[in-house]
Every structure is written in C-alpha cells, then in structure tokens.
C-alpha cells in the first residue's frame, strides 16, 4: 500500500475555455480562440470550435455531484477574463453570479476550489492592442486579478496566475499552434517577459488584497535528459532547462532570472526590453506554492547546425529520439513516469522544498468507444496504469521528503483541446458530443477508491 500524506489533494484540472461553452453568450466577449475559429475554422479538428465545448456553464451543479461521486476533494479550473471583464474594465454581473454559484457548489460538495486566472484565453480586445507584446497587458492583467480576488476571495483559498505560460509563448510566437501564429524568437521572448511581469504584478496585488489565501503559478515541467554525457549534449540540456523550466520557475520561487539565461540571450541579441523597477518587482513577489504539470520528458542533443544569432530554440538544442522509449501513440508523447521522482527531488533540493503539487498529469487516447463494455462504461485500464505508474514515482519522492501536497489529473470530463478539438479524450467522465451527457469511466471508479484510501 502506497499511503499519501494526510489531507492530500486528490483532484482534477480543467479550464474555462476548454469546458464552459457559451463562449459568446451571457455577456462574454471574444477571445483569440473565438476569433481564430471564426476566421479559420479549417485549422480546427473536425471544425470543433470553442462555442460549446463541454457545456459546464449549463451543467455545473450536476458536475459538482459527479466530482464528489469519483472522490475528488479538490478541483482546479479557471476564470474567463473575457467573461468577467468583457471590455477589460466593466464587471459582467452574469459572470459574477455564475462563478460564485459554481465555486459555492464545489465547496458544498466537499471540493476545495483552486482557481487559475489565465489559461491561454487572451481577450480579443487586448490582442488587438498587441496582446502580451504590449506592456499595457501587465496593468490590464493586474486589474483583472485584483477584480477576481475581491469578488471571489471568500470562496477561493488557493489561486494561481497562469497555466503553463511558456506554452502561449511557444505556440503563439514560435510554432503556430495558437493565435497569432507568429514565428519570431525575439517577439516570443518579449511576450514571455511581459507574462512574467504580469504574474509578478498579480502576486503584488494579491498580497495587498488578502492575507488569508495562497497564490502560486502552474508551470509545465518536462525534465531535460541529454542524449549522452558528451559536453555538447550536456550543454544543450542545460540551455533547454534555462529556456523551458528555469525561465519561469526561478523568478517565481527564488525571485531571480538566471544569470546564465540573461547572458545567453544577450550573446544572441535577444534580450527583451526592460524598464526601471522590473528587477524589484521580480525579486520581491514570490509565490506560496507551485503547480507542476507533467506529461512527458524532454530529451535533447546538441543542435545540428546552429545559427548565430539564434533564430529558434532549435539553435540551442535539438530533439533526441530515445530508442528505448514507451509511447502514447495517440498523443505522440513519451510515457516516462520516472521523471516525476526527478521533479520531486528537484523541488526539494533546488527550490527550498516549497510546497507544490502535480497540477496536471494524464493520458489522451483517441476513439475510446473501442473500449466500451456492454454496460456502456469505457474500460480505460491504460489510463489507470498510467496514473498508477506516475503516482508510484511521486510517492517515492514524497517519502524522500519532497513537499508535495496533491495530485490533479487532466481532466474531470472530456474537454475541448484547442486545435485538436475532441480528437483525444482525457476525462474521468466520457462526454457525448451530441447530447453533452456524461458517463463515468472505469478510471473514475478507480480514482474514488484511491481517494477513499488516500493511496493504492
């Protein structure tokens, strides 16, 4: 039996843009996703857009009961910036009513409510002004954060500012998976820098508004493993960690941007524009806890033909295809649960053993109806095995002293996944796209048993 600490959080994670639906109704303004789907629907899997998704806006009361039915004692979701403040300034009372009722219903069902502020859903009014490239976004986000803390602070005791900030940087400004689908390393770095400052500004305001809650940030941490111990491969892994992990984790927890990162960017003439006061803002506003999303490791080798100055991250490191890997063929990701142990020890040894939790971990599989039994239940034993393996290595890290307080699977109910739509399913509950009916999968029954026993 692998027992977890007392009061361990067993939960799930989801987001407003991927689950709420009613994307342009009840006072909500357009986000970049609404705009992109309207202008280029062919980019989206089977033309599945953000307008309906999982319909949580209309089903949240029953969904809270369903959360309780599978033993969840916590859930992380997000507020839609464009719903709460459609023009960036004016509070939408319909949004306030919805979120207060939703968060209260979770609490009524014994579910700790953990709320994130930004999950890739930039309001279009701000994108029209340059989005995160515009320094004005820092002030705009801080106002949104303050509004949220004041409106919902009595219901929410754990807040986070951003989910995977490096993703909207990469996908929007390097790899064309998010709007505005630009490929420009310099602009990507400026976006990352303003995002970091927006996070810090929100933490600063949080300290002024409340002293009874906690605030953190959610980062996607994929440990970097070099192809070999050859100097060039080791350097590639070090630079990968600088760009992908330490760029946000070090400032969030330690209050510093790594000197090596600053030197690397300066060497390639890639430093962002900065202003007086930025250093103090970064140094002083530290988080109370960290959420870490983990799905797959990052394996790298020395770049093949690097350009100088660098034009893309591939000029610092190249992907390495490990021949012994185990794969999830549907998502195209390596399954390597051992990395959660490495993450746990990294947080203990390098980040002051700050409280942290696994904020996402899960397995996306296509065409899950293949595994439906005669009773209509999807027998997703592959998902159960995936979670068991990852939790086993996490447990080992906790036993060795890492200060992990929870595990959240992605996700509660099958959700819409950006350009991939509903191609891959992740939920404890299956979603019927025609009726929005939910039905529990085998993994939901398994999670209930794990939560009841506080282990497995």
Active site residues: 164, 360
DSSP-assigned states of every residue in 254-283:
HS---HHHHHHHHHTT-PPP--TTHHHHHH
Q: Are 152 and 78 in contact (CB under 8 A)?
A: no
Cis previous bond, 309, omega within 30: yes
Pairing type for strands 289-293 and 158-163 reads unpaired
CA angle 112, 116, 119 (to 5 degrees): 140
Name the residue among 196, 83, 106 with its Cα closest to residue 158: 106
Distance CA 87, CA 48 (A): 26
Name the residue among 232, 309, 236 with its Cα closest to residue 266: 309
DSSP β-bridge partners for residue 366:
424
Distance CA 442, CA 438 (A): 13
Distance CA 18, CA 155 (A): 22
């Amino acid at each position: 039996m692998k027992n977890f600490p007392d009061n361990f959080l067993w939960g799930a994670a989801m987001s407003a843009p991927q689950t709420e639906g009613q994307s342009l109704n009840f006072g909500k303004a357009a986000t970049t996703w609404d705009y992109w789907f309207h202008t280029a629907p062919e980019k989206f899997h089977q033309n599945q857009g953000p307008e309906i998704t999982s319909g949580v806006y209309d089903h949240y009361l029953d969904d809270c009961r369903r959360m309780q039915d599978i033993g969840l004692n916590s859930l992380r979701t997000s507020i839609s910036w464009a719903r709460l403040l459609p023009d960036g300034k004016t509070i939408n009372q319909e949004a306030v009513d919805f979120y207060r009722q939703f968060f209260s219903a979770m609490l009524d069902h014994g579910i700790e409510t953990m709320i994130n502020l930004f999950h890739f859903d930039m309001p279009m009014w701000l994108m029209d002004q340059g989005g995160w490239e515009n320094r004005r976004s820092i002030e705009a986000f801080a106002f949104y954060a303050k509004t949220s803390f004041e409106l919902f602070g009595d219901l929410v005791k754990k807040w986070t500012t951003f989910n995977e900030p490096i993703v909207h940087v990469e996908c929007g400004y390097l790899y064309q998976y998010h709007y505005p689908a630009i490929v420009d390393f310099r602009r990507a770095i400026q976006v990352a820098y303003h995002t970091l400052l927006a996070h810090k500004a929100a933490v600063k305001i949080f300290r002024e508004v409340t002293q009874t809650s906690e605030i953190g940030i959610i980062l996607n941490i994929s440990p970097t493993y070099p192809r070999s111990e050859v100097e060039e491969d080791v350097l590639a892994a070090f630079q990968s960690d600088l760009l992908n992990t330490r760029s946000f984790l070090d400032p969030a927890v330690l209050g510093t941007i790594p000197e090596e990162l600053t030197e690397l960017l300066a060497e390639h003439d890639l430093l962002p524009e900065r202003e007086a006061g930025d250093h103090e803002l970064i140094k002083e506003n530290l988080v109370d806890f960290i959420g870490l999303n983990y799905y797959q490791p990052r394996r790298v080798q020395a770049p093949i033909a690097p350009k100088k100055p660098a034009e893309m991250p591939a000029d610092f490191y190249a992907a390495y295809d490990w021949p012994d890997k185990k794969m999830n063929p549907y998502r195209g990701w390596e399954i390597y649960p051992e990395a959660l142990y490495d993450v746990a020890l990294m947080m203990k040894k390098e980040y002051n053993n700050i409280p942290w939790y696994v904020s996402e971990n899960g397995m996306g599989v296509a065409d899950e109806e293949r595994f439906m039994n005669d009773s209509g239940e999807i027998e997703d034993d592959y998902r159960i095995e995936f979670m068991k393996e990852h939790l086993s290595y996490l447990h080992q890290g906790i036993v060795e002293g890492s200060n992990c307080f929870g595990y959240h699977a992605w996700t509660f109910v099958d959700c819409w996944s950006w350009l991939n739509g509903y191609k891959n399913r992740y939920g404890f509950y299956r979603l019927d796209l025609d009726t929005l009916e939910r039905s529990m999968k085998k993994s939901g029954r398994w999670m209930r048993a794990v939560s009841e026993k506080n282990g497995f």
